[in-house]
Amino acid sequence: PLWPWAQLTGVPGSEGAVSFGSCSLYTLGVQSGPWLPLPCLSTHGPRVASADPGADASLCGMAATRASGTNAVRYGTMKSNVLNLRVVLPDGRLLHTAGPGRHFRKSAAGYDLTSLFVGSEGTLGFLTRATLRLHPLPEAVVAAVSAFPSVRAAVDCTVSVLQAAVPVARIEFLDEVMADACSRYSGLRLSAAATLFLELHGSQHSLAEQVRQIEELARLHGGSGFAWAQEQEERSRLWAARHNAWYAALALRPGCKGYSTDVCVPISRLPDIVVETKRDLEESGLTGPLVGHVGDGNFHCLLIFDPEDPDETRRVKDFTDRLGRRALALDGTCTGEHGVGLGKRALLREEVGEEGLATMRHIKAALDPKNLMNPGKVL
Ligand SMILES: Cc1cc2nc3c(=O)[nH]c(=O)nc-3n(C[C@H](O)[C@H](O)[C@H](O)COP(=O)(O)OP(=O)(O)OC[C@H]3O[C@@H](n4cnc5c(N)ncnc54)[C@H](O)[C@@H]3O)c2cc1C
């Protein structure tokens, strides 16, 4: 068997190797290695690759899991940002999914092999190089935090912002448990209330209008406490607090373990699923702060539990299955970011149905007839 791995942030992990490929004006070729920090990219012009998971993942690992992050609401997930992949197939042949060296924005030429490998979780081949789409850096950026009277109010506000077509670059939700934990962990003064973190990108002129629209919509949903930060340092402090959510959650119960699960639903269903999930957490007696890339209809529950306690461990597993099924019942998916892995195989079957699963198995058998790559994962 062959088990590809990179930075191991998809599972509790360790370090990987660094090696970068070439960079042109609009695309970036990167071999499997860790995520590039922004200054590294800016030396190649005012452009930036978009997906930003909250961990130091590798680009090929991110392609393998179809990852995304806080920026996806504006710039898309790895699905829309990977233009070409160099893949070593299980029998050793080398495949360039879009043809050697090609990096176009659209194509109608045959099957979309790049999309097939993006999100394949190491079951179809080794990704050894990814060509990514780059985005221009905006002229101006502002970020703000706002507190809401309830989780429903915060999520309803998100839906209103999206329905009003305000082009938010980031809109992130924290429930009151998560906001309080982040506040304590990162030293930001957040209220222990349902909270939205927002960021807007554009020209100075367009931002003034977006800020006005957002403040008006937030007020309608009881949002308060807006303070817009334009300085890089202040914005970085804010987003560092958001990106440290996992560690802030772990600090809620020192000595316990964390298990992160995520789902994604159509935006209109988001308020209901978040409210139902909060109720479920309470009834299950679990510590599970919620944090979400709500602009995409995606949220995570960071379950903190004692692995030595079999009853609590069982309740975590049952809760996770219920959350996945709740998302499916609302026409959503059992995972928006983290992938199927081993834990969500039954949910995948329910999501895509027998024919969907059989088609995936045919593809796997055609590319990896000996079932060498990550055997047992996903399917
Ligand atoms: C604190 C924290 C925050 C996170 N936040 C986010 C987030 O906001 N958004 C998000 O999408 N994810 C998030 N994640 C999950 C994780 O970072 C992503 O899934 C990431 O894409 C995994 O990349 P990696 O390089 O660590 O891959 P690994 O964990 O090493 O591997 C992940 C999977 O990809 C396969 N794989 C890895 N490299 C290759 C390769 N070169 N070829 C073929 N298959 C390969 C592995 O077999 C495995 O199945 C978070 C994780 C943590 C710990």
* Three-state DSSP string of 289-353: CEEEEHHHCEEEEEEEECCCCHHHHHHHHHHHHHHHHHHHHCCCECCCCCCCCCCCHHHHHHHHH
Tokens in use for 72? Answer: 């996806």
- Domains detected in the chain: 30-136 (3.30.465.10), 140-243 (3.30.70.2190)
C-beta separation of 18 from 7 below 8 A: no
pLDDT of residue 48: 58
Q: Is the CB of 126 under 6 A from ligand 1?
A: yes
How far from 277 is each of 153, 324, 338, CA to CA, in Å? 15, 11, 18
Beta bridge partners of 47: 136
Q: Is the CB of 336 under 6 A from ligand 1?
A: no
Angle between the 270-284 and 151-163 helix axes, to the nearest 10 degrees?
160
Could you give phi then psi for residue 238, rounded to 5 degrees? -65, -50
pLDDT of residue 227: 82
Q: Is the CB of 71 under 6 A from ligand 1?
A: no
pLDDT of residue 135: 85
Q: Is the CB of 30 under 6 A from ligand 1?
A: no
Pocket test for ligand 1, best of 9, 172, 302 (most atoms within 8 A of CB): 9
pLDDT of residue 5: 83
> Which residue, by CA, sits nearest to atom 6 of ligand 1?
53
Measured in Å, residue 347 CA sits from the centre of ligand 1 at 20
Residues 6+ apart with CB under 8 A from 7: 13, 15, 16, 34, 55, 56, 57, 58, 61
Measured in Å, residue 139 CA sits from the centre of ligand 1 at 31
Q: Is the CB of 60 under 6 A from ligand 1?
A: yes
pTM: 0.91
pLDDT of residue 46: 43
pLDDT of residue 18: 29
Tokens in use for 193? Answer: 């209330």
pLDDT of residue 262: 96
Taking residue 330's Cβ as centre, other Cβ atoms within 10 Å add up to 17
Q: Is the CB of 120 under 6 A from ligand 1?
A: no
Measured in Å, residue 15 CA sits from the centre of ligand 1 at 12
C-beta separation of 92 from 74 below 8 A: no
Could you give phi then psi for residue 23, rounded to 5 degrees? -135, 130
As a whole number of angstroms, the distance between CA 336 and CA 265 comes to 8
Residues 6+ apart with CB under 8 A from 259: 302, 303, 305, 316, 320
Q: Is the CB of 374 under 6 A from ligand 1?
A: yes
Query: DSSP H helical segments within the chain, as ranges?
Result: 38-42, 59-65, 72-75, 78-81, 113-117, 151-163, 176-186, 204-220, 232-243, 245-250, 270-284, 310-329, 345-367
Report which ligand 1 atom has the smallest distance to the Cα of 122. 44
Residues 6+ apart with CB under 8 A from 189: 183
As a whole number of angstroms, the distance between CA 204 and CA 298 comes to 29
Q: Is the CB of 7 under 6 A from ligand 1?
A: yes
Measured in Å, residue 226 CA sits from the centre of ligand 1 at 34
Measured in Å, residue 345 CA sits from the centre of ligand 1 at 17
Measured in Å, residue 173 CA sits from the centre of ligand 1 at 22
Report which ligand 1 atom has the smallest distance to the Cα of 70. 8
Pocket test for ligand 1, best of 56, 65, 85, 97 (most atoms within 8 A of CB): 65
Please, what are the averages of pLDDT over each run of 10 residues along the chain (379 residues)?
84 33 45 44 48 79 91 92 95 97 94 97 95 88 96 96 96 97 92 96 94 96 90 92 94 96 96 97 97 96 97 96 98 95 96 98 98 94
Q: Is the CB of 58 under 6 A from ligand 1?
A: yes
pLDDT of residue 9: 83
Q: Is the CB of 68 under 6 A from ligand 1?
A: yes
Dihedral over Cα of 153, 155, 161, 163: its sign = negative
